[in-house]
Structure 1
Amino acid sequence: MTLIIQTAGRPAVAIVAAALASALCAAGPAQAAEFRLPAFDTITLQNGLTVYLMERHEVPLISVRAVIKAGAVNDDQQAGLSNLTGDALLLGTTAHDKAAIDQAFDYRGARLAGGAGTEASTVQANFAKADTAALLPLFAEIVQQPSFNDAELGKLRERKISGIKQAKEAPRNVVQTYYRAMLFGDSPYGIPASGTVSSLGALKQGDVRRYYQQYYRPDNAAIIVVGDFQKSAMRQQIEALFGAWKASGPALALQDNGKVSADKARVLLVNKPDAIETTFLIGGAGIARNDPDYVPLQVINTVLGGRFTSWLNDELRVNSGLTYGANSSFSTLSQTGTFAISSFTALPKTEAALALAHKTYQRLWDQGIDKATLESAKAYVKGQFPPRYETSEQLAGLLGEMYANQVGREQIDNFTKSVDSLTPEKAKALVDKHFPRQHLQTVLIGKADTIRAIAKQYGDVTEIDITADGFR
């Protein structure tokens, strides 16, 4: 029996020009329109497939995506396998080769993309309503009947290996990967989504096929359709195209993907002998995407390092000229997350920049956030939030994120209320609860001979070379 759940909601707020939003934020606290997620149906097919259908008739476009709960955390000893598999879905099906698929989408001005991250893999397509009959069945074919052509797979693998090598030439491209590997160690969250040169080089067609069979199954996936369609007709199409998809073997068990290890202050020093800058991250454990405090923490982080006028950017860039930019952020996952201050500085300024970053961060406890500063951040956040979910593609992405991270619509619908209810007193309590203060974890990428003594000031140092394979 097919289960259908009607999810009520009001239409999304109208588009607000970025310039107007910025002007309102600069002027002070503003009364932003309350944002609520538009209505959508949640359907569970007999094979366990979750389906989200959201009608949006403003423009004759449709955005569809498949989200599979499988990513780097499922790679085990074969780092990069999920990433390779996710991209390889676009290499052709049992009925159409890559050239035919590319031509079908390109000829109609449609877009097709795919890939895998830490915990989820996605295939997405955007096309005109008039092209639904031609492209939706092809999309279903891509998801359910990939060929994993060995020749195309080999070329893709070599491109990815080259990409890893090139990424390490620019530390800002890889510093987050080193950071997560340091914080999570041997746990699944510590596995680099990109893989490593050696792990990717060892992957074969059989590995990709096995991974696909194990994780790409209807009871571990969602199909999300947002756009100009009638839900009853679209539901019939989805059931016809995906209803025969079958899972192989028993249902997948939930796994523990790990927690941040921060029992003492540590520094990972990544030596790049030719570096003229030091790239750094400082932080520790964060929160899961579905944490009840997710929204108010975005406001608090806006003050610290979430906008151009934040404390960190003011101090490290505007006032001291130590860097071209400094920020902070919570990087959320489904079970936990990380928090980090991020910046880079000229090699001779490393000691000053690190000291000032720590001093500025300490203001959260020593000084706290006053009412005027908090109100400014609240206005900024409320002005930034609705424009992120205006298009069908953006809304499909949001529903996919909600599915992969077990986020209820109440977090979205109560966004404005959660922001408005934040007071300086509540902010202080949230700072004490969620911002890491003791045993901070640090990653430094730079010329080790120059910054090794500085690194020792911030914890026990582990030193590796950036040319070494892997990230820890």
Structure 2
Amino acid sequence: MNLQHDSIKQPPPPLPARSIKLPTAFETTLPNGLGVVIVENPRLPLVSYRLALRTGDAHDPQDLPGLMDMLTGLLTEGTESRTSREIADEVARLGATLQAGANSDYTTIAASSLSLFSENIFELLADVTLRPVFPENEVELAKQNTKESLKQQRAQPSFLASEMVARVVFGDHPYSVTAPTPESIDATTRDRLLEFHRSEFVANNAVLIVAGDVDRDSLLPQIESLFGGWQPGDVSGNDFPDPPQRASRAAYLVDRPGSAQANIVIANAGIMRTSPDYFPMLLMHTVLGANASSRLFMNLREEKGYTYGAYSSLDARRTAGSFRATAEVRTPVTGDSLKEFFYELNRIRNEPVSEKEISDAKSYLTGVFPIRLETQEGLIDQLVQIKMFGLPDDYLEIYRNRIQAVTIEQVQEVARKYVRPDEAAIIIVGDGAQLQDQVKPYAEEIEFYNTAGKRKIRSASAIDSRTAAVAIAGNWSLQIDTPLGQSIPAKLTLAQAEDGLTGRVESEMGDGELVSATFDGESFAGTISFDVAGHVMEAQIVGEVANDQMEGSISLQNAPALSFTGNRERESATDSHG
């Protein structure tokens, strides 16, 4: 026996869990209801601030999805006493950071700097939080940028998959909305932003967390000076509709004709962040698909080679959640991938996980947890979640004990409760014509959608290719949007061919031949071959067609997709009559 060789094959035993030494947190509440948490940690001359409000994207007005996202993006674009340029210059002069953002449940305004400049950046944080003015020119610029960003997102399969998952899993719950619409962007005004800021940015809706090289006794008067006059108000509730209960399995195909890849998501409704099932779910998720040593990855990537990675995700929010299994696979192996997904989902339900699997999962979770707390930003992130989700005050201290206490029986119990393959929603973004037959064995019904998120009338194969070619043939005038906000004109010529469509693209970026193209009556897709300085390059073009209008994107390999809009050119009298 080669003991040296055998010892190399065996992984080393896990190291003992690192001890966690958490600095003491001081908590108080100002008379106006503002919660305050101060963590004194003079180890480094740095200070981090985080103001968190219990209002997020889920609280957007129904007619203005995306309002909070736009509002947070505009907080640093002008206050009653500072212009956008002055704010940016001051942040740069201090060598500091200042930013704001929102997720579905809460909003944060974050700042950090050397302790030498901490009072300056703290005053600036208070100014942008309490006294933004949302200048008209900045609002219009933000609306334009948001529209461009939305077009770019619609060219990304991952965005289309996430959008459809949210719609299907959350139903009438506001978590179902993942992005604004062009109509809601147009309807956003400075007055609506000011009104939303007045109603949601109230003292008793917020918590201020400060960590780093600070002295509590000198910091508290500064907090009182900056925020003591902030008025309280009515706080938005969380009385939202429950997500729908599914009774059967169904598939939702977002059709991107010509796609070489299929983005797969298999989803069920999940848990709230405060659920007593959270820790067993976390262990189950870690065994099933959290990382590269989990079951899904080992099956679909290592054994089958269908994908670069297959994972699960546990999305636990304030009032609802979801559990998902995901992968991006080659289109021809989509059906085979679904087979393996459902094999693993059923196995985690029906068979107890092994002692080694649960032990490894516990070691992983308890091992990475201290790393998250090593930096001030990491510690503040955890404190924000505790306050925004209403977790126990001693959550950080008890986390590892809660992980270690989970049993194999509890893991199987939550798997049976929340992993429900027979009631799952299967969301796939890809070429519907190639996917339809592969998906049929795994879904009782299949719905088709285009990349704009609209239900398609026809299935992927319900229209004759020759009939479709006639319907789209002709000259199309396109306007291609660039990341710099410019618009480049182009001409797309499509003609009927024996096997479908042929055509050509002409623009100042270059001319190219359409080497392959398909059209199913609603969705158009093709491959364009360009000759650039003697080198052949290919681009993918996809678009949705309705009423002589086309909207879509053009993608070059390893480059951002460029969105476009277009109209069919009307034939002139000369063209019509020869």
- Is the aligned partner of 1:104 residue 2:90? yes
Does the C-alpha gap of structure 1 residues 468 and 331 become closer, same or farther in structure 2, counting only changes over 3 Å? closer
Question: 1:384 is matched with which residue?
Answer: 368
Alignment of 1:18-417 (within 5 A): 27-35=12-20, 37-75=22-60, 76-192=62-178, 194-248=179-233, 250-256=234-240, 258-417=242-401
Amino acid at match of 1:165: K
State the 1:251 CA deviation.
4.2
Structure 2 distance, partners of 1:427, 1:26, is: 25
Structure 2 distance, partners of 1:107, 1:258, is: 48
State the 1:437 CA deviation.
4.0
State the 1:466 CA deviation.
0.5
Report if the CA contact (8 A) 1:161-1:201 is conserved: no
Counterpart of 2:382 in 1: which secondary structure?
Answer: helix
State the 1:297 CA deviation.
2.3
Q: Which moved more, 1:63-72 or 1:254-263?
A: 254-263
Structure 1 distance, partners of 2:384, 2:15, is: 30
Question: 1:15 is matched with which residue?
Answer: none
Instruction: Give structure 1 stretches of 5+ with no counterpart.
Output: 1-22
State the 1:40 CA deviation.
1.0
Does the C-alpha gap of structure 1 residues 292 and 161 become closer, same or farther in structure 2, counting only changes over 3 Å? same
Report if the CA contact (8 A) 1:35-1:415 is conserved: no
Report if the CA contact (8 A) 1:313-1:327 is conserved: yes
Q: Which moved more, 1:401-410 or 1:423-432?
A: 423-432
TM-score between the two structures when normalised by the length of structure 2: 0.74
- Is the aligned partner of 1:426 residue 2:417? no
Question: 1:18 is matched with which residue?
Answer: none
Structure 2 distance, partners of 1:122, 1:113, is: 8
State the 1:218 CA deviation.
0.7
Q: Which moved more, 1:123-132 or 1:461-470?
A: 461-470
Structure 2 distance, partners of 1:402, 1:255, is: 21
Report if the CA contact (8 A) 2:200-2:235 is conserved: no
Q: Which structure has more RCO (C-alpha within 8 Å, separation ≥ 6)?
A: 1
Does the C-alpha gap of structure 1 residues 350 and 392 become closer, same or farther in structure 2, counting only changes over 3 Å? same
State the 1:253 CA deviation.
3.7
State the 1:320 CA deviation.
0.5
Amino acid at match of 1:59: L
Question: 2:489 is matched with which residue?
Answer: none
Amino acid at match of 1:442: I
Counterpart of 2:307 in 1: which secondary structure?
Answer: coil
Residues 109-139 of structure 1: CA deviation (Å, up to 9, x unaligned): 1111111111111110111101022211111
Counterpart of 1:283 in 2: which secondary structure?
Answer: strand
Instruction: Give structure 2 stretches of 5+ with no counterpart.
Output: 1-7, 457-578
Residues 354-382 of structure 1: CA deviation (Å, up to 9, x unaligned): 11111122211333211012111211111
State the 1:34 CA deviation.
4.5
Structure 2 distance, partners of 1:130, 1:331, is: 39
State the 1:438 CA deviation.
3.6
Q: Which moved more, 1:210-219 or 1:29-38?
A: 29-38
State the 1:58 CA deviation.
0.9
Q: Which moved more, 1:126-135 or 1:358-367?
A: 358-367
State the 1:468 CA deviation.
4.4
Counterpart of 2:120 in 1: which secondary structure?
Answer: helix
Structure 2 distance, partners of 1:317, 1:255, is: 42
Q: Which moved more, 1:98-107 or 1:426-435?
A: 426-435
Question: 1:442 is matched with which residue?
Answer: 426
Does the C-alpha gap of structure 1 residues 450 and 466 become closer, same or farther in structure 2, counting only changes over 3 Å? same
Report if the CA contact (8 A) 1:329-1:341 is conserved: yes
Counterpart of 1:63 in 2: which secondary structure?
Answer: strand
TM-score between the two structures when normalised by the length of structure 1: 0.90
Structure 2 distance, partners of 1:119, 1:231, is: 29
- Number of residues of Structure 1 aligned to a counterpart in Structure 2: 446
Correspondence for 1:462 among 435, 447, 450: 447
Report if the CA contact (8 A) 2:160-2:429 is conserved: no
Residues 243-292 of structure 1: CA deviation (Å, up to 9, x unaligned): 101135x4434422532442332222111123111101102111111223
Counterpart of 2:308 in 1: which secondary structure?
Answer: coil
Residues 181-209 of structure 1: CA deviation (Å, up to 9, x unaligned): 211122222122x3122222221111211
Counterpart of 1:414 in 2: which secondary structure?
Answer: helix
Alignment of 1:1-12 (within 5 A): none
Counterpart of 2:111 in 1: which secondary structure?
Answer: strand
Residues 116-165 of structure 1: CA deviation (Å, up to 9, x unaligned): 11111111011110102221111100100001011011111211111111
Question: 1:11 is matched with which residue?
Answer: none
State the 1:425 CA deviation.
2.5
Amino acid at match of 1:147: V
Counterpart of 2:58 in 1: which secondary structure?
Answer: helix
Report if the CA contact (8 A) 2:386-2:395 is conserved: no
Amino acid at match of 1:126: S
Residues 62-96 of structure 1: CA deviation (Å, up to 9, x unaligned): 11011111122112221111111111111111110
Amino acid at match of 1:229: V
Amino acid at match of 2:194: R
Residues 169-188 of structure 1: CA deviation (Å, up to 9, x unaligned): 12123422321121112222
Does the C-alpha gap of structure 1 residues 326 and 430 become closer, same or farther in structure 2, counting only changes over 3 Å? same
Report if the CA contact (8 A) 2:76-2:84 is conserved: yes
Name which one, 1 or 2, has greater alpha-carbon Rg. Answer: 2
State the 1:312 CA deviation.
0.3
Report if the CA contact (8 A) 1:184-1:261 is conserved: no
Structure 1 distance, partners of 2:328, 2:394, is: 38
Does the C-alpha gap of structure 1 residues 348 and 191 become closer, same or farther in structure 2, counting only changes over 3 Å? same
State the 1:29 CA deviation.
4.2
Structure 2 distance, partners of 1:430, 1:461, is: 28
Counterpart of 2:133 in 1: which secondary structure?
Answer: coil
Amino acid at match of 1:201: D
Structure 1 distance, partners of 2:19, 2:421, is: 34
Structure 1 distance, partners of 2:258, 2:246, is: 30
Amino acid at match of 1:61: L
Structure 2 distance, partners of 1:26, 1:387, is: 22
Q: Which moved more, 1:233-242 or 1:267-276?
A: 267-276
Structure 2 distance, partners of 1:274, 1:332, is: 35
Higher percent of residues as strand: 2
